[in-house]
Amino acid sequence: MKKIIISRQVTIPDLLRIRRYERAPELGPKILFFSGGSALTDISRLLKKYTHNSIHLVTPFDSGGSSAILRHAFDMPAVGDLRSRLMALADDTISGHPEIYQLFTYRLPKDAKRKELLAQLEAMISGKDARIKIIKNPMRNLICTHLQMFYEAMPDKFDLKGASIGNL
């Protein structure tokens, strides 16, 4: 048996492959990421243009923002980093329902009074808030139902300041 050595020259970046992946991201490379926090959020937003074959293992140890408040109130793993990554990877084009993307990345005001925050959440639940109104059914009803479930389970002293609607 004869040994054969095969070698080839490559150009990096390979613009032809990049263009191919951009036209058909479902055929893009398979990539695995281990991360936590917002480490890969910006990269993920760009990556979705070139591949739909990425796997993201995100740690559930977010201790900041509305995740910490949810964790303590409901004795659950942190969801903020996971929601953030899902939103970074979500299709935010017209066909991907950008109005849902906008709602799930929206945060309640940090400087509002509790009464105002509750009124805004109640307007979302009833479908009267502008961010909810533009979402078509059945997704609007589904989102309103989930927000209602959160509202009913929410502890009396739950701090809604800066809460991410996507986390609720």
Residues 4-38 pLDDT 10s: 999 999 899 999 999 999 999 999 999 999 987 77
Residue 75: per-residue pLDDT: 82
What stretches of the chain adopt beta strand conformation (E)? Answer: 31-35, 54-58
DSSP state of 129: S
Instruction: For residues 85 and 28, state if they share a domain.
Output: yes
Instruction: For residues 81 and 148, state if they share a domain.
Output: no
Q: Assess contact for 54 and 31: CB atoms under 8 A.
A: yes
Residue 50: per-residue pLDDT: 96
DSSP state of 163: -
Residue 96: per-residue pLDDT: 65
Q: What share of the chain is helix, strand, coil (3-state, %, to 5)?
A: 50, 5, 45
Per-residue tokens: 44: 């993920």
The model carries a pTM of 0.76
pLDDT digits (tens, 9 = 90+) for 45-95: 999 999 999 999 988 776 667 777 888 888 887 788 888 888 899 888 777
Distance CA 104, CA 61 (A): 20
Residue 48 lies in a domain: yes
Q: Which domain holds residue 79?
A: 14-89
Residue 24 lies in a domain: yes
Instruction: For residues 113 and 61, state if they share a domain.
Output: no
Instruction: For residues 79 and 41, state if they share a domain.
Output: yes
With a CB cutoff of 8 Å and minimum separation 6, the contacts of 109 are 116, 117, 161, 162
